[in-house]
Amino acid sequence: MKIQPTQAAVKTEKKRHPVSAGLEALLLAALAVGAVFALRAGYRHYMCTAYPVKYSEYVEQYAEQYDFPPSLVYGVIRTESEFNPDIVSSKDAKGLMQITDDTFEWAQSKTPEDEDLPAEQLFDPQTNIHYGVLIMRLLSQQFEETDTMLAAYNAGMGNVSRWLEDSAYSLDGKSLYHMEYQETLEYVERVRKAQRMYQTLYGVE
């Protein structure tokens, strides 16, 4: 037996078409586009929070003075301290760019002023960035390849010089295809990744 719809059901069915199918499709498309933009904005906000540009005045000043791209300096700071100026490592490296007392003393002796600042001055962001970038410049005078210079920043000049003389780590005496310390290998990779993120997020050199 075929059941006929009641009048109430017929009336309900007639009320189910307030918006045309074409308009519904446009609304759905607009919602989808809005969701995509919201996701992108949220992702960018998250990444900018993870890769901040703090102390930009000092980064740009000393990057220019010592001829480094600011993105590389940001990458080192982000990897070394995540922009915490008060951090001290287990090896007693201090501040934003994690400089030890001995390295700080050595770097000061290489400046025209031949300064004699106390180690506590490394907790000052401007001083730390100044000498951190100066140390990078001094290392780059000995190690021309950027990755090799970064390896020396992490593992020390003596270790990197030894690796360059060993065919197990270097084929040309200038660049490293392998590193004795996994920590140093990962350090260089992290700095380079952070540098690329700063270039992508902020368009800095």
Would you state the pLDDT for residue 4?
55
Q: In this predicted structure, what is the pLDDT of residue 6?
A: 53
Residue 171 backbone phi and psi in degrees, to 5: -105, -20
For 131-162, the pLDDT digits (tens) are: 999 999 999 999 999 999 999 999 999 999 99
Instruction: Supply the pLDDT for residue 33.
Output: 74
Q: Identify which of 89, 92, 88, 110 has the alpha carbon closest to the alpha carbon of residue 100.
A: 92
List, run by run, the mean pLDDT of 10-residue segments along the chain (205 residues).
51 53 74 66 79 97 98 98 98 98 96 90 98 98 97 98 98 96 98 97 93
- The reported pLDDT for the residue numbered 124 is 98
Positions of E strands within the chain: none
CA distance 57 to 48: 18
pTM as predicted: 0.79
pLDDT in tens, 110-131: 998 878 999 999 999 999 999 9
Residues 6+ apart with CB under 8 A from 114: 108
Q: Which residue has the tokens 């307030």?
A: 18
- Cβ-based neighbour number of residue 155 at 10 Å: 20
Token readout for 126 is 């401007």
How high is the pLDDT of residue 193?
98
Task: Return the pLDDT at 10.
Answer: 47
